[in-house]
Structures are given as C-alpha cells and as structure tokens.
Amino acid sequence: MNYSVKFHNVTKKYKMHSKSSDKLKDIIYPGGFGEDFYALRNLSFEAQKGDVIGIIGVNGSGKSTMSNLIAGITPPTVGTIDIKGKISLIAIAVGLNNQLTGRENIELKCLMMGLSKDEIQTLTPEIIEFADIGKFIDMPVKKYSSGMKSRLGFAISVNINPDVLVIDEALSVGDQTFTDKCLKRMNEFKEQGKTIFFVSHSLGQVKQFCTKALWIEYGEIKDYGLMQDVMPKYEQFLKEYRAMSKEEQQKFKEEAQRKQAGQEMKQEDAKALDIAHTGLNPRKRKKKKKYMIPLAGLVLCIGVGSTAYLKKDLFVQPPQAEVESKKKQVSNEKKKIHWRI
C-alpha cells in the first residue's frame, strides 16, 4: 500500500505520581511507584497519500497525544510509527520560543526543518506576509496573543512545504478571515496529494474539509473510515453523551478505561501462560534485577559518601599557620630539653 503514515500496535503510557517524592522513588525502584495512565492503547491504522483525516473524540480521548506522536514530538511507549516524508505540526504556540522575536522564530524553525540559509531568506517574506501580524514580527513571542502565535506557527508550517501536515486546534483562535485563508491553503495541499491530520472541536470544519474520520474514544480507535460513514455515528454518540450528567459522563469514561485495562490484563495473562508452557519465567528474574541493581548502587553511593564524610579530617590539609605553630612548639620543646641537659 502507498501509505504515508502507518501506526502498528502503538501504545502511549504516562506515569502519574501523587507526590513528587514518588518520582524519585520510581527512579530507584522502576515501576514500583506511581499509577500507569494509558493515553493511547494498541492503535493500528494507515493513512494514504492525499488523505485528509479528521481526528475526532470528546475531551481527554487522546487526540493531542496522537498529534504529538505523528509529529514525532513524543515517542510511543510500545509499537512502531512509520512516516514517509517531512512532517510539520501546527498547534497553538508549539515550536515557538517565547524569548525570541517572530522573525528569529521563523529562522529557528526553518533551520530545524533542514532548510538552508538561502531558502530561509527566500521564504521569510512570504511567511511574514501570510502571518500578517505587522510590527509584532520583530517583538518577542511572549508578547503575542494566542491568535498571533497561531498565525505565525501556521504561516511557518504551511510555507516549508511538508509532506504530512498535522493541525491541532490551530484554527480555534483568530478571526474568520485568517481561518478562511488557512483553509484555502490547506485545500491547495489536498489537491497536491499531501496527507493532512486535522484536530478540531468544530465538526463543521471537519466535515467541510476532511475526507476521512478517525474516532478515538479514551485512548482506543472506535472507528476509522470515510467521513460519510463515521461522522453520523459519532454525531449520534455525541448527542447521547451531551445528554448525560457530569457524573454519568465520568462513569462512562471510567467504564471505558476499565474495559481497556481488562483487555490489557488478558493479554498479559496470555503472555504469562505462554512463558509457563515453555518452562521459562524471565519475569521474576528481570524483576529482581530491575529492583536490586539500582538498590545496590544506591547503598554503595551512600556507603562511600558516609565514609568520606566521617574520615574527611584525614584528607584535609592543615592550614599553613597551623603548620608554623606546630614547628615553633617543637623547636621550644627542643630548647627546654637542651637547657635541662
């Protein structure tokens, strides 16, 4: 298949710690502290060249995590992601250095994308014209509004001619005139056969612009296919979801996550059963190694440090004044002995 993006059994897991001290303990005893949070779990799909895919789902489903994985900002915990071509992510303030001016950010981001100095010099006027932020282009980005940051980020990303474009809520800020200009440029990319991932809470924009929909429900792919096939199902779900109370929505989320966790446990049990049948059980040995090596290292460091502290006087050189005083004292003692004789 002529794919441009391919996910194979991709999982993204984060560690949640209730206390900052647990983070340190988790380094010393890996896996022993903190709660695992699966932002995405076991995702597999392909995007072909020319696909314009709307990533849809309620808040907290993992849409932005998906965007970051595609753009290469964060790696997967498990699985593989294959991207063919140059990628560019457009999200509010992503990739912009707040301490630099807009013009300096243009140069920095273009250099990061592998453009030469001559190419950057040629593109800069076009980017500035597209962003249309006036004199702010020579002011630090920290003074920009969210709309201005979005304008600059979008202008840079669409002018470096990427093969895969990821747009994460970048059109949710700013005026309608700029939004229309962005959609026009994105349609040009669509006609050129580029792959575009579009994340937006505006279902109208998604339906208007995208040809496919990827529905994510709390970390898992609920449905993926043509827009006319997936969107009606999602809109029906959204209607039912919005009719729920906050308590019911939370319960729905917990049940979905519990179901996913149950599937994960079944997979782990199956792996353990396979290991038992082969007569091998590396899990116990690995666990012992995993915990004992960091612990031994910690004990060794504490022991060496304590010994050095207790014996520090043996290694400290006495000051010069003290040495001279001792010499004088020894000399006086010799004189006393001489007179006694």
Contact 6, 82 (CB under 8 A): yes
Which has more pLDDT, 285 or 80? 80
Give the residue from 144, 202, 217 showing the smallest Cα distance to 169: 202
Angle between helices 102-112 and 117-131 (to 10 degrees): 130
SS3 content of the chain, % helix, strand, coil (to 5): 55, 20, 25
pLDDT at site 154: 86
Domain ranges (residues) in the chain: 1-85+204-243, 245-280, 285-311
pLDDT at site 305: 58
Strand partners, 254: none
Which of 85-94, 234-243, 251-260, 324-333 has maximum average pLDDT?
234-243
Mean pLDDT of 209-234: 94
What is the edge-to-edge ordering of all strands in the sheet holding 35-48?
35-48, 3-16, 78-83
Separation of alpha carbons 64 and 169, rounded Å: 9
* pLDDT tens figures, 85-143: 888 887 765 678 899 999 999 999 888 888 899 999 999 999 999 998 999 999 999 99
Which has more pLDDT, 248 or 341? 248
pLDDT at site 289: 44
Mean pLDDT of 32-37: 76
Which CATH number is correct for 1-85+204-243, 3.30.210.10, 3.40.50.300, 3.30.530.20, 3.90.1150.10?
Answer: 3.40.50.300
Mean pLDDT of 11-17: 85
Separation of alpha carbons 278 and 64, rounded Å: 41
Rounded to two decimals, the pTM is 0.71
pLDDT at site 205: 86
